[in-house]
Structures are given as structure tokens and as C-alpha cells.
Amino acid sequence: MVKKAKNILAESNKYLIQNYQRLPIKIVRGEGSFVWDSDGNKYLDFISGIAVNNLGHQNPQVNKAILKQINKFTHISNLFVIQEQVDYSKALVQEKKGYKAFFCNSGTEANEAAFKLARRWGVFNGEKNIILSFTGAFHGRTFGSLSATSPKKYKYGFYPLLPGFKNTEFNNIKKLENIVNKNKKIAAIIVEPIQGEAGVKFGSPTFLKAIQDICRKKNILFILDEVQVGIGRTGKIFCHNHYDLNPDIVTLAKALGGGLPCGAMIASPKVSDFLTPGSHGTTMGGNPLAMSSGLASYKQISKKSFMSKVVKSGDFFLSELVKMSGNKLVKEVRGLGLILAIEFYSSIKAKNFSDICLRLGLLVILTEKKNIRILPPLNVKLNEIKKSISIFNIALRELNE
């Protein structure tokens, strides 16, 4: 049982801009699937830094790679060849022949890069410049990505956003066909195969395939935002491997840096050369430290044996969650690999559920009011999953009382 810390927010409220609603918890240490707070409470961490720590905390190989790089150099700038970037890109595009990577520092930057590349490409392809995205989509907080993001709550007070962005209904092929037929200037369509921030909402396989078909037919770029679901989260290195898709551009971040800030856009040979020298850049992007950490993490995750363990853990987790779907408070459970969700009928019940989990030492994220998003580290142990299930069941019993 977790003790309640008092006034833990006071200093942070005094010195930090209050753009986050922080929990009154100060984490002082992490190891594997667990973290400890300043009061000595231990938590099972099924948030994983929002899908960043895919190997849990203090992964020995990642730590080793970071220390090794620190003892060489930590930053040099993109004025030079950075071998660590070459090595990481080589690994990332191993099964995507001819694709190339641009490295940056975050998910929103990866999407900005994708939009800029799409517009450059559009100049030479019918002067197209419109980016089309979907309802529920979250693509990041900078102005370009925010313009492609759909929910109003992220945008309030920040208008005017960028021109040249349009939005249509997620999982609705008819409406997609309509808007594409009406609008000849669409340069790119961007979609999350699974909408993470929206509460783990799945794009249907037919919908995702339809986007790709429309893109091919109309000469539109197909961008997949895999910032949250890439790097093994779903049991395959890229989420789109589940649907046999072949996007022109994939954006990655979150788990890409093995815990350090890192993003990437990988682009097919058809488009990658449109970003010519000087057309785009970043001072810190592809920083050697983030590259070394990321590659050390990626090497472990991308192993076939590791991926099949993720599939097994995910299948087991989901089969346990399915047993809860009979509960009268639970609307639906969903999951693919190790991104899972419990959707409640009531937002109050969902909030209470996450509060009880926290009190019992389990960290999960309340997303879009009614969804409990579950993001364990990919190397989570079976008994840790079982532990979370027993906490979920206690929480449900309490809520039903």
C-alpha cells in the first residue's frame, strides 16, 4: 500500500511552468519493471515513461552503451559524419530496402520533418501541399504537428494554426474517398495505425489498406505515425508489419532512443531525396549518445526470439483482460502486443480505477477520460502481468461495491 506524500508538488509548482498535471510522486530510482518514490514506495511501472522505456529501467546493455559513448564524446553536430547514426539507420531499415533515416529529438519533430518532406515532394508532384489527418489523431505539440492533431483540447488558445491541413473521420473509408476526390491538392495522408493518445483506438485493417490504395492511385504520400506503436510495442518492430503495409514515410520516437530523447523519420527512395542539403536540419538530432543508447536497445528488441516473447506476453495479458470485459463497468478491452486498454462506460469510474491502481502500487495511464492505457516494458515478466491483473480485479471489486 502506497503512503501519501504531502506537499511534494510545492517546489515543482513554484519553479516549473504549470503545463503538466503532475502526480504528487517523486520517482528516485527504477529497475526493470519497477520504480521507487522518495517515500520508499514501490510501483509496478506499466506506463514505461509513456512507451519510452521498452526494456524497463536500467537495462544493462543500454547503460553500458551510454557509458561507452560518454567516454568517447557526447555531441559533435551534423556538420560531421556521425557513425552512430549510420549504424542505427542501417539497423532500422534492414527490411525496408532503400529507405533512409533523418534523426531528430522527438515525435513531433519527426512529424514536422515528414510534413516538410511531403510539401517539398508536392512542389514537384502537381503542386500539392495539403496534409490530411484523422479524427482522434495526436501527432504532437509543435505548430505543424498540432495542425494535424484533431482533438480541440490540444489546440485551444493557439489559433491560427498552419493552413493546408485537413481532417476526416477515422475508420471511415467513404468519407476519405470523398475528401480525396474533391481535393486535388492533397500531398500526404498521415495516420496512426493505433491511436495511442485517443485511448488505444485501432485503425481497422481494411481502413489502413484503403488509405494505402488511395495514396497509390492518386499519387499521395502515405505517412504512418508510429511514434508510440513502433519499435516492437505491438509485437512486431513496426506496427504496420501486422497489416502488410508499405508506407512512404514512417515516423518514430518514444522508445527509439532507449530512454534518451530521439526521433526519426524514415522515408522510401521515392521521396527521401527531396530533402536536399540545407533544406532541413537540427542541431541535436541524431546525437551520438541517443544513437548509442537507442541502437543498444533496438538490437535486443529486434531479435526474433524477443519479439515472439512480446507476442506471447501480449496474448496472455489480453486474454486476462478479456475476463474483465464481462464486468458491468467495463465497456471493452483492447490490445495488440503490449499496448493495451480497458475502456470504461463512465469517466468517473475510470478515474477511480486508476487512483486505486496507484494506491495499490501499479502505474497505468488514464487516457481520453474513459480509457486505462497499459504500457508495460516489453521484457515484462509473466508474474508481473499476473500481479497487475490481481490489482485490476481488486480495483474492479472496490468500484462495484
Q: By CB under 6 A, name the binding residues for ligand PLP.
A: 106-108, 138-140, 192, 196-197, 225, 227-228, 253-254
Residue 324 CB, shortest distance to ligand PLP, in Å, is 25
116 close to 164: Cβ distance less than 8 angstroms: no
Residue 115 CB, shortest distance to ligand PLP, in Å, is 12
CA distance 86 to 299: 14
Closer residue to ligand PLP, CB minimum distance, 108 or 379: 108
Closer residue to ligand PLP, CB minimum distance, 41 or 149: 149
CA distance 299 to 258: 10
Closer residue to ligand PLP, CB minimum distance, 141 or 349: 141
Options 102, 103, 138, 392, the catalytic residue: 138
Residue 105 CB neighbour total at 10 angstroms: 21
Residue 68 CB, shortest distance to ligand PLP, in Å, is 25
Options 128, 201, 222, 225, the catalytic residue: 225
Grid coordinates of 107? 515525435
Closer residue to ligand PLP, CB minimum distance, 375 or 399: 375
Residue 291 CB, shortest distance to ligand PLP, in Å, is 16
222 close to 214: Cβ distance less than 8 angstroms: no
Please choose, from the candidates 262, 333, 310, the residue with its C-alpha nearest in 3D space to the C-alpha of residue 89.
262
Residue 197 CB, shortest distance to ligand PLP, in Å, is 6
Based on the residue annotation, tell me whether 155 is a catalytic residue of this protein: no
Closer residue to ligand PLP, CB minimum distance, 30 or 140: 140
Based on the residue annotation, tell me whether 225 is a catalytic residue of this protein: yes
Which residue number is nearest to ligand PLP in terms of Cβ?
Answer: 107
Options 128, 201, 236, 254, the catalytic residue: 254
Residues with a catalytic annotation lie at 138, 225, 254
